[in-house]
């Protein structure tokens, strides 16, 4: 619509000027209109052109704004489906998590089927499985981002639906797959959701656990550095480490990492996991991951496939079982070996290219085999 308005107004104004010149020119030839009056009228017509364009522009903007206001009003008037309970239970949360026969569906699509497990307070659980097997949906049920349709999710033996939302979500530190950061200083992004401003010592501790400190040292104002909307000035790994720092800074009783290390290299992943082990010993932890190296030290590992628990046990037990988990483990080992081979080949190509470049400088000629160099014949 907007692309049609401006050409239409320009065409109409041009047609009006042409008509005035044609009719007024004939009157001027007959002596019924002076040349000055004709020029004056054309000038007035040009003066009217911009106000007419502005009227069309304002009308178009008004209609777009009115439509946007209607969509915003729908959001403002929408009632949340997840609400506080009528008779809340506000006992202190220790961190014991239990699922009893939980099933969940998006519309007519069932994504979780009869899920049951229990994690003792301070224990650790890992969840692995193919993409789309329901891992993220499962952990979303703990802080009540959705309510279950069948079964129960319990926290310290009490249904999460009976916990006040504020208390429940303050007790859960959640690192989602997609990290959302705001265009504010990094300090405020890490301290999001806290009542008090984080002190420098708290920031340094959270940054040390998440391995964010080594990047912050290079920032112009350290934790007071402004970052772009959605963290556009940060890399994918820095975003994930910021989200991990945000989660541990809350000092939650339940820590959930939903594929939170997928964008970091294996060395940084190992360092983060080493520091997180101390944090996880003091609170219940649930880790969702695709890398077996991330989850192998968990107390129990659940393997999901098509929304069902198909295997469960420790890392050693699942490898001995030889099922889906063992297949994933062998596939990842093979991928790592292929990556190492590719890196070795790239390194050898670079070394060979450097030798070939240096050979002419020292009067050497490469041998027929293509490796090293031989001195010229004397």
Within-domain flag for 91: no
Within-domain flag for 372: yes
Give yes or no: residues 173 and 247 share one domain: yes
| Stronger pLDDT, 133 or 65, i.e. the higher one | 65
Give yes or no: residues 317 and 337 share one domain: no
370 pLDDT above the threshold of 60: no
Give yes or no: residues 302 and 335 share one domain: no
Burial class (CB in 10 A: 0-12, 13-18, 19+), 368: exposed
Return the percentage of the chain with pLDDT > 70, whole number: 82
- The pLDDT score that the predictor gives to residue 342 is 60
Q: pLDDT digit string (tens) for 72-104?
A: 998 888 888 877 888 888 888 888 888 888 888
347 pLDDT above the threshold of 60: no
Give yes or no: residues 190 and 332 share one domain: no
Over residues 348-354, the mean pLDDT reads 66
Give yes or no: residues 141 and 201 share one domain: yes
Last residue of a domain, one of 45, 77, 109: 77
Model confidence band, residue 364 (pLDDT cutoffs 50, 70, 90): low
Model confidence band, residue 267 (pLDDT cutoffs 50, 70, 90): low
205 pLDDT above the threshold of 70: yes
Give yes or no: residues 38 and 109 share one domain: no
Within-domain flag for 139: yes
Model confidence band, residue 356 (pLDDT cutoffs 50, 70, 90): low
DSSP class of 319 = H
Q: pLDDT digit string (tens) for 1-18?
A: 556 666 777 777 778 778
Within-domain flag for 137: yes
Give yes or no: residues 313 and 340 share one domain: no
Give yes or no: residues 234 and 112 share one domain: yes
378 pLDDT above the threshold of 50: no
Within-domain flag for 343: yes
Secondary structure class of 99 (helix, strand, coil): strand
CATH for 141? 3.40.50.300
Q: Are 51 and 87 in contact (CB under 8 A)?
A: no
Over residues 139-161, the mean pLDDT reads 86
Closest CA to 309 of 145, 117, 110, 123: 117
In terms of phi and psi (left: phi > 0; alpha: psi -120 to 50; beta: otherwise), the region of 4 is alpha
Within-domain flag for 154: yes
Q: pLDDT digit string (tens) for 50-71?
A: 777 777 778 878 888 999 998 9
300 pLDDT above the threshold of 80: yes
Within-domain flag for 241: yes
Give yes or no: residues 13 and 116 share one domain: no
For all residues of the chain together, what is the average pLDDT?
Answer: 77
Over residues 147-167, the mean pLDDT reads 86
Give yes or no: residues 172 and 191 share one domain: yes
Q: What's the number of domains the chain is made of?
A: 3
214 pLDDT above the threshold of 70: yes
Give yes or no: residues 296 and 179 share one domain: yes
Give yes or no: residues 236 and 105 share one domain: yes
How far is the C-alpha of 298 from the C-alpha of 7, rounded, in Å? 66
* Domain assignment of residue 46, given as a range: 2-77
| Stronger pLDDT, 196 or 173, i.e. the higher one | 173
């Amino acid at each position: 619509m907007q692309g049609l308005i401006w050409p239409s107004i320009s065409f109409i104004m041009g047609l009006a000027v042409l008509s005035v010149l044609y009719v007024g020119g004939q009157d001027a030839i007959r002596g019924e209109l002076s040349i000055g009056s004709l020029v004056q009228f054309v000038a007035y017509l040009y003066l009217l052109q911009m106000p007419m364009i502005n009227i069309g522009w304002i009308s178009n903007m008004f209609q777009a704004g009115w439509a946007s206001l209607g969509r915003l009003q729908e959001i403002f008037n929408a009632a949340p489906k997840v609400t506080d309970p009528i008779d809340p239970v506000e006992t202190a949360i220790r961190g014991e998590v239990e699922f009893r026969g939980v099933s969940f569906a998006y519309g007519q699509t069932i994504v979780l089927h009869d899920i049951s497990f229990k994690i003792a307070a301070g224990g650790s659980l890992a969840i692995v499985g193919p993409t789309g097997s329901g891992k993220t949906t499962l952990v979303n049920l703990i802080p009540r981002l959705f309510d279950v349709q069948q079964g129960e999710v319990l926290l310290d033996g009490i249904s999460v639906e009976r916990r006040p939302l504020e208390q429940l979500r303050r007790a859960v530190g959640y690192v989602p797959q997609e990290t959302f950061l705001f265009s504010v200083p990094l300090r405020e992004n890490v301290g999001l959701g806290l009542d008090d401003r984080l002190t420098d010592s708290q920031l340094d501790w959270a940054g040390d656990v998440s391995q964010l400190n080594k990047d912050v040292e290079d920032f112009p104002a350290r934790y007071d550095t402004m970052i772009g909307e959605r963290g556009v000035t940060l890399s994918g790994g820095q975003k994930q480490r910021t989200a991990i720092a945000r989660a541990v800074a809350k000092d939650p009783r339940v820590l959930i990492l939903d594929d939170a290390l997928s964008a970091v290299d294996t060395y940084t992943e190992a360092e983060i996991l080493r520091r997180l082990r101390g944090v996880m010993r003091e609170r219940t932890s649930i880790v969702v991951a695709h890398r077996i190296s991330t989850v192998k030290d968990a107390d129990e590992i659940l393997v999901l496939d098509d929304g069902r628990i198909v295997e469960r046990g420790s890392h050693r037990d699942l490898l001995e079982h030889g099922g889906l988990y063992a297949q994933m483990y062998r596939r990842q080992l093979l991928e790592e070996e292929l990556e190492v081979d590719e890196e070795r080949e790239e390194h050898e190509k670079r070394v060979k290219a450097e030798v070939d470049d240096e050979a002419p400088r020292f009067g050497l000629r490469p041998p027929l085999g293509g490796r090293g160099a031989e001195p010229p014949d004397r």
